[in-house]
Structure 1
């Protein structure tokens, strides 16, 4: 009999719309492996007014590419204020009654995978799985509340900080398995002394590493089908490309500083794709400083990214090295898209558990300065054809290890491990 796997991600509504993304690709590949996946998500889109109409019911269902999506009714959330908190709370509360009804119609699952970003999805996953007598895998895609403390939104020693940390500890203790997207995330458990080896209650054997990745087939098809008519992109210049958000953590101003240092290199141009709260400020800088070698391209459809990257000469993975803890690695989606494009990568931060170093597919800056970035762009431009080709090939070959076909097999191993443990538990109770 086919095992039913429920994948819970509050924000998977975007994946339904784009027909792609982590849990969409997991579901697609689980079907190929003989499983029956169902994705549960909110009926709203993050930071947008549009929503999936549930016809005044607690949930609605739609099936796309043989993947059932269950849309749990919530309220629209724009920004990060009280509306977002309400949106999260409603998703959490409504999951309980939605599951009750959904089980009556379709039976209970064999395993629940409850994914962050926010922790309430995982809390619901653990509680509901316990009621149903099935295992719950908790997937941590961002270390909450550490990320909140990093951005100074709350202090770890404050009452809120202590409550969030206690909640996180409860999740880690009570999940049947933990999946982290960064290789070094289990170091966090050791740092907190929560692991059994240091007298804590979390056995590190239940921790697994499955990074983000890329669906290589979709990437290749998209690269051919979704072409962008853009004379800058299609010029013979050495295209330095950045794709992503334009916010403080991405430190895109640093790219402008590097461009300023290279403005006499007439064959190099910087193409910046994306949107965010710093875009207008940077556009003003480009005009004021007369940076004719920089083009801000604005928001682009995700489907166009593979083609854009196919026209790059080097891709910039650009971050602030002070606003985040990079010691545990990187799980950025764009890293794997960059690798899939087969072009060298420059990261403006030095990462722990470095994928770029492991696959020899680019350069990580030591000091994160604009001078260093400008020098490394020139170094890649002036490389021998063979060196340049090898770096690009290493990127492309490395991407194969992060193809969702491979990542799904890792998830299948985790599913099998929680299944085995549940069977042992039941058999021990029965013998007792």
Structure 2
């Protein structure tokens, strides 16, 4: 069996909060002749939880036969210098002696949860003289530029663009989660033949077919996931305010930098509630309580390259319709006939769509939910995605 190292600074173990893409891929890769070891930071992204004890530089844990090598990284708050120090520490430790407990790799995947993690993967692949695979999750620095965090000509943006080009050119293959990332990557004079699309997915073994929704006096609209700037959840709250005394309730489950301001924006709304995040394994039971979901993004140019959202696929696997409030260049809800599409940033349009779902017969909503679930089973089962990844690897 061959060995592949996956460098993902923010990788999550099963039972924690957030996506478990690499664990789920690793679990199924074994069926196709690959043993994956995941190299991640000891500091959890969303909660700041430290997985390592004081004085530990690294630790090797195993979950369902999958090795997680945790690297000690400093705690931080916000997106300032503390987070940059956390990123740099991860890259330095990945290049040090901390990886000694792992079997030598036959391939290395560096994931661009940030560029330094992928760069460390490139360096390790060179050290072991094995192929490097660059997994593009976010477009750095394009995402930061489109979100208004950096100007296009800022020195940090220029440096990241240079590193980005180096990673594209140094990769044996570029693995993109975004279906239309080639529109961006080709500006680096990279052939589209070098780019493979491998989206996020669902481990159907851990997400059984959901029970059908039941009639209820109050329509339960649900969102779970990050409460960040890109999610634009203020648009959803504004839509709820326009609904007046309609029998609908919105549950917002999760955490993030925008949560405090969102709670303030929802002041006085009895039909909106905020709840803490739940572990990934609790998602199926939680999602079964919903009548529908709302997926919302701001209208930003970076979404012209497509999206591959964990939470959207969770919504669809739950067998409920979804209000897809986004202008992304791909639309799984429309492809699946699994809900209603709404223009982003227009609360009145979203409120009208919610009313439309309220007036939709339960049997029609059930069909939407069934369509969404079948779409996930056909296109986003992690076992099938792992087979595709095995075909990409040497």
Distance (whole Å) between structure 1 residues aligned to residue 382 and residue 9 of structure 2: 20
- Contact residue 60 and residue 69 of structure 2 kept, 8 A: yes
Partner of 2:387: 409
1:271 Cα offset (Å): 1.8
Q: Distance in 1 between matches of 2:280 and 2:14?
A: 13
Q: Report the equivalent of 2:208.
A: 220
Between the aligned partners of 1:331 and 1:381, the Cα distance in structure 2 is 28
State the Cα distance separating 1:58 from its structure 2 match: 4.2
How do residues 23-102 of structure 1 correspond to structure 2 at under 5 angstroms?
23-46=22-45, 48-53=47-52, 56=55, 58-98=57-97, 101-102=100-101
Q: Which runs of 5+ in 2 are unaligned?
A: none
The answer to whether structure 1 residue 286 and structure 2 residue 266 are counterparts is: yes
**Using the alignment, how far apart are the partners of 1:95 and 1:295 within structure 2?**
41
Structure 1 range deviating more: 374-383 or 299-308:
299-308
CA contact 1:9–1:41 (8 Å) conserved in 2: yes
Q: CA deviation at 1:274?
A: 2.0
Equivalent residues in 2 for 1:2-401, closer than 5 Å: 2-12=1-11, 14-15=12-13, 18=16, 21-46=20-45, 48-53=47-52, 56=55, 58-98=57-97, 101-102=100-101, 106=103, 108-190=104-186, 192=187, 194=188, 200=189, 202-220=190-208, 236-265=217-246, 267-287=247-267, 290-322=268-300, 325-366=302-343, 368-400=345-377, 401=379
Structure 2 CA distance for aligned equivalents of residues 136 and 166 of structure 1: 18
User: Which moved further from structure 2: 85-94 or 273-282?
Assistant: 273-282
Cα distance change of structure 1 residues 234 and 253 upon mapping to structure 2, 3 Å threshold: farther
Once the 2 structures are TM-superposed, how far is the Cα of residue 134 of structure 1 from its aligned partner?
Answer: 0.8
Find the aligned partners of 2:176 and 2:136 in 1 and give their Cα distance: 5
- In the alignment, the residues of structure 2 paired with residue 284 and residue 368 of structure 1 have an alpha-carbon distance, to the nearest angstrom, of 19
Unmatched segments (≥5 aa) in structure 1: 195-199, 225-232, 420-432
List per-residue Cα deviations over 1:365-415 (Å, max 9, x = no partner).
136411111111121222244432221111000111111111111111111
Equivalent position SS for 2:100: helix
How much has 1:311 moved relative to structure 2? 1.8
The secondary structure found in structure 2 opposite 1:219 is: coil
Alpha carbons 1:54, 1:71 under 8 Å: kept: no
Q: Against the structure 1 CA distance between its residues 234 and 250, is the aligned structure 2 distance closer, same or farther, given a 3 Å change threshold?
A: farther
CA, structure 1 residues 15+154, in 2 after alignment: closer, same or farther (shift >3 Å)?
same
Measured in 2, the distance between the counterparts of 1:100 and 1:271 equals: 42
Change (3 A) 1:282 1:129: closer
Does structure 2 retain, via aligned residues, the 8 Å contact 1:263–1:293? no
Deviation string 1:335-374 (CA, Å, 9 cap, x unpaired) is 0000001111111112212222211212221364111111
Q: Secondary structure at 1:363's aligned position in 2?
A: strand
In structure 2, the CA distance between the partners of 1:115 and 1:255, relative to structure 1 (3 Å rule), is same
Describe the SS at the equivalent of 1:218: coil
Instruction: Using the TM superposition, give the Cα deviation of residue 117 of structure 1 relative to its aligned residue in structure 2, in angstroms.
Output: 0.6
Contact 1:210 1:407 in 2 (8 A): yes
CA shift in 2, pair 1:42/1:140, >3 Å? same
Give me the CA root mean square deviation. 2.4
Q: Which moved more, 1:170-179 or 1:144-153?
A: 144-153
- Higher radius of gyration, 1 or 2: 1
Further displaced range: 152-161 or 394-403:
152-161
Q: Indicate how the Cα distance of structure 1 residues 384 and 88 shifts in structure 2: closer, same or farther if over 3 A, else same.
A: same
Pairs aligned (count)? 390
Q: Distance in 2 between matches of 1:46 and 1:284?
A: 24
CA contact (8 A) 2:46 2:256 kept: no
